[in-house]
Amino acid sequence: MDLLAFGNTGWGDELFFATLMTIAVSITAMIIGFCFALIFTPLKLSKNKLLNFIGNSYTTIIRGVPELLVIYLLFFGGSGAVMYVASIFGYNKYIEINAFITGSFAIGIISGAYSTEVFRGAIQSIDKGQFEASKVLGLKKPVHFFKVIMPQMLRLAVPNLSNVWQITLKDTSLISVTGLVEIMRQSYIAAGSTRDPLFFYSFAAVLYLLLTFLSMKLINKLEIKYRRGY
Amino acid sequence: MDLELMASSFPKLLNATLVTLKLLSLSLIFGLIFGLFFAILRLNKNIFLNRFSYFYSYIFRGTPLLVQIFIIYFGLGQIEFLRSSFLWIILKEPYWCAIIAFSLNTGAYTSEILRSAFETINKGFIEAGDSLGISKKIIFYKIQIPIAIRQSLPAYGNEIILMLKGTSLASTVTLMDLTGVAKYIISTTFKPIEVFIVAGGIYLFMTFIIHNFIRYLEKKYSY
C-alpha cells in the first residue's frame, strides 16, 4: 500500500490526476464525437447519393480500421496537416499540437462514428407518422426537429449511447502510446520505476472497472429520465 | 501523395497481415472455447459457478484490452512461481501472451453473446424434444446448440470484426503485426497518410470479407 501513498513517496496522487485526465479525455472525445455525429447523421440519412456516400464512408472506414491506426495517423500526421492549413493562410512557423488535443480528437473521430450509427438507428426507428404529422401541422423545421424528433430520438438513443461511452472510455487507454499521461501511461511510468508492473497494471484495471461501473450507474438514472411517459 | 512509398510498403504490410490473421484465428478458436464454457457456467443454477462466470465477463468487458495485455505480458513475469514453472515457456513469448489476452477478452464477449442466444431459444423446442422422449444430452447438442449458433451469428460477426481491430494492440508488446509494421513505416518515413491508406485498406478488405461471410452463413442457416 506504500506504493499508493499520496505525495512524493508514492504514486497515489499521480494516479489520481491520471484518472482525472482519463475522464477529461473521455468527455472531450465524447463531445467531439457528438459534433461529428451531428454532421454525419444527416449525411447518412440524406437522399442525395454523394452526401450519402460521404456519410457511409466515414462510419465504414472508422469502424473497420483499428483505433490504434487512427491514433498513429493523427499523432504523426496531425501537426503536419495543421501546418499545411496554416501555410495557406501565410503562417509558416512550426506548430506543435498538444497531446491532449490530438488524443481527444482521435478518440472523438472514432466515438463519432459509433454515435452516428446510434443516432441514425434511433431516427430511422421513429414512426413515419410523426414526420408526416408535423408536416401536416406546418411546423417549422427547427421546431419539428427539437420538439418532435429529438425527444423521441433521445429515448431510443440513450441506452446505445451508454455503450458508446463505455467504448470511448476504454479507447482512451490507447492514447497512452502518444505520451499523454492518463491512467495507462501513468501505470507504465510507475511500473517502470518501481519494477512492479503486476500491481500497477492491476490497479489500472481496477480504476477502469470503477469508472465503467460508476458511469453505468449515472447513465441508468439518465435512462429513467428519458423513459418518462412511456 | 507518394505513390512509390505506397507500392513499396504494400508487400511488407501484406506480409504483416499474415501475423494479424494468425493472431485473429487462434484467438477466435480459443475464445470460442472459453465463451462456450463460460456461457454454460452462466446458465448453470449453481450460484457460485454462475457468479464466477459473471465476474469473469464483467472484468474482461469492463477494462481496456490494453490493460489486459500489459498485465499478462509485463505483470505475470513478476510472479516467481510462474517463472519457474513450465508455463514460463509460453508466458515469456509476447506472441502467446497476446493470444492469451485476446482469447480471454473475446471469450468474455462471446460468452455473453452465447448466453443471450441460449436464453432466447423458444421453450417450445425443448419441450417438443422432451415430449418426444429425446434425452437431455441430445436436446442440448442437436436442438439448443444449432439454434443458439444461428441466433448468435450477427452478434458474433461483429465480435470477429472487433477482435480483428483488437489484434492491432499486439504491436504494443513488440509484435510486428499489420499495425506494428505500419507504425514502423510511418515513424521512419513520416508519411502517415500514405501508409494509413494502404494499411487501412487491408483492414477494410478483411472486414468486408468477414462481414459478407457472416451474411452468407446467416442466409444459409436461416429458417
- CATH code, domain with A192: 1.10.3720.10
Partner residue opposite A197 with nearest CB, options B78, B199, B203? B78
Name the closest residue on chain A to residue B77, using Cα atoms.
A198
Residue A1: what pLDDT?
61
- CATH code, domain with B169: 1.10.3720.10
Alpha-carbon distance A172 to A25, whole Å? 7
Would an 8 Å CB–CB cutoff place B56 in contact with chain A? no
Residues A49-61 have pLDDT tens digits of 999 999 999 999 9
Would an 8 Å CB–CB cutoff place B201 in contact with chain A? no
Please report whether residue A204 resides in a domain. yes
Alpha-carbon distance A15 to A112, whole Å? 28
What is the arithmetic mean of pLDDT over A181-207?
91
> Which one, of B92, B115, B90, lies nearest residue B38 by Cα?
B115
Scored b (16 or more CB within 10 A) or e, B29-49 reads ebbbebbbbbbbbbeeeeeee
In the block, residue with C-alpha cell 514502423: B184
What is the arithmetic mean of pLDDT over B80-106?
88
Kindly indicate the confidence band of residue B3, based on its pLDDT and cuts at 50, 70 and 90: confident
Task: Please state, rounded to an integer, the average pLDDT across all residues of chain A.
Answer: 88
Asked if A111 and A30 count as a contact pair (C-beta separation under 8 A), the reply is yes
CB atoms B203 and A72 under 8 Å = no
Q: Give ipTM to 2 decimals.
A: 0.87
Residues B141-195 have pLDDT tens digits of 888 888 888 889 989 999 999 999 999 999 999 899 999 999 999 989 888 888 9
Going from the C-alpha of A179 to that of each of A94, A99, B72, the distances in angstroms are 20, 7, 22
Residues A145-180 have pLDDT tens digits of 888 888 888 888 888 899 999 999 999 999 998 888
Please report whether residue A3 resides in a domain. no
Count of structural domains within chain A: 1
Please report whether residue A136 resides in a domain. yes
Partner residue opposite B193 with nearest CB, options A77, A177, A213? A77
What is the arithmetic mean of pLDDT over A190-216?
92
Q: Using alpha carbons only, give the angle A15, A19, A21 rounded to the nearest 5 degrees.
A: 115
Alpha-carbon distance B203 to B164, whole Å? 8
Residues A63-122 have pLDDT tens digits of 999 999 999 998 888 877 888 888 888 777 777 778 899 899 999 999 999 999 999 999
SS3 state at A95: coil
Name the closest residue on chain A to residue B65, using Cα atoms.
A170
Count of structural domains within chain B: 1
Please report whether residue A11 resides in a domain. no
Q: What is the CA radius of gyration of chain B?
A: 21
Please report whether residue A6 resides in a domain. no
Alpha-carbon distance A169 to B5, whole Å? 35
Mind telling me how many Å the CA of B177 is from chain A's nearest CA? 12
Please report whether residue A2 resides in a domain. no
In this structure, the dihedral spanned by the alpha carbons of residues A7, A9, A15 and A21, taken in order and rounded to 10 degrees, is 50
Candidate from A3-7, A15-19, A22-26, A136-140 with smallest mean pLDDT: A3-7
> What percent of chain A has pLDDT above 90?
49
Q: Which domain holds residue B139?
A: 3-220
Interface A-B, measured as beta-carbon pairs within 8 A, has a size of 112
Residue B223: what pLDDT?
67
Residues B120-145 have pLDDT tens digits of 888 898 899 999 999 989 998 888 88
Alpha-carbon distance A205 to A207, whole Å? 5
Would an 8 Å CB–CB cutoff place B76 in contact with chain A? yes
Please report whether residue A9 resides in a domain. no
Residue A88: what pLDDT?
84
pTM: 0.89
Partner residue opposite A205 with nearest CB, options B63, B79, B200? B63
Alpha-carbon distance B154 to B218, whole Å? 7
Q: Which of A59, A69, A162 to mutate to test the interface with B (most CBs of B within 10 A)?
A: A69
Asked if A204 and A183 count as a contact pair (C-beta separation under 8 A), the reply is yes
Q: Which domain holds residue A72?
A: 20-227
User: Can you point out the beta strands (E) in B52-184?
Assistant: none
Name the closest residue on chain A to residue B179, using Cα atoms.
A69
